[in-house]
Structure 1
């Protein structure tokens, strides 16, 4: 849960400021070869997806979308800069989101509190069927 909360806060902190300089963001996207039309959807994904992850609602969907975004950021913008000072942050955030896709939001989440279950519990079950308790592939 602490990792989910920190990932949510981090995404919100990166998403909301994008709305302060939409023109600059559009220009930056264009300069790195990303269509500027994707700027607003990505800012919304980070802000709304961050809220979803923070509160544990639709966590798997939001996390999967963030994984896709982070792959795009790494490939389109950060890969040429190397690991340190380049794509290490995006790789870490992507790893956290992959973990959230697999294991879900956890017991302290809106999904669990309201529904008394996770909305999409399959990822955790698939992981448990694939790997033994020792972490070995079955």
Structure 2
């Protein structure tokens, strides 16, 4: 169903079944089958995912039939209108926890709810790395 959600194509069972012997499979929390390439690295399941600033329309948010693996609170996938949007999504420990936008070289971070201290520190560190890459030095975190 993820392939269908991503591609918009239907009737893909035969294609997936033909590819399945070449792929690594996993069971999700609901017992469904997930596929991955055979050589993909496998971190320990208890390894926390670092904060990530995703761009608009990122495949991670759009390509899953069951988005609860990334969006656990029922929020809609953000789809900003227009061309040249400068607003993205913030992942904390692999989950959609806020939005960000860029104004010149200032990065504004807007979490949906207060973050735990360790998470807030990790988000700030990642934000400053991103802004430094852009040639700026200003990060602003709005109150949630």
Scaled by the length of structure 1, the TM-score of the pair is: 0.28
- Kindly indicate whether structure 1 or structure 2 has the higher relative contact order, using CA contacts under 8 Å at least 6 residues apart: 1
Scaled by the length of structure 2, the TM-score of the pair is: 0.27
When Rg is computed on C-alpha atoms for both structures, the one with the higher figure is: 2
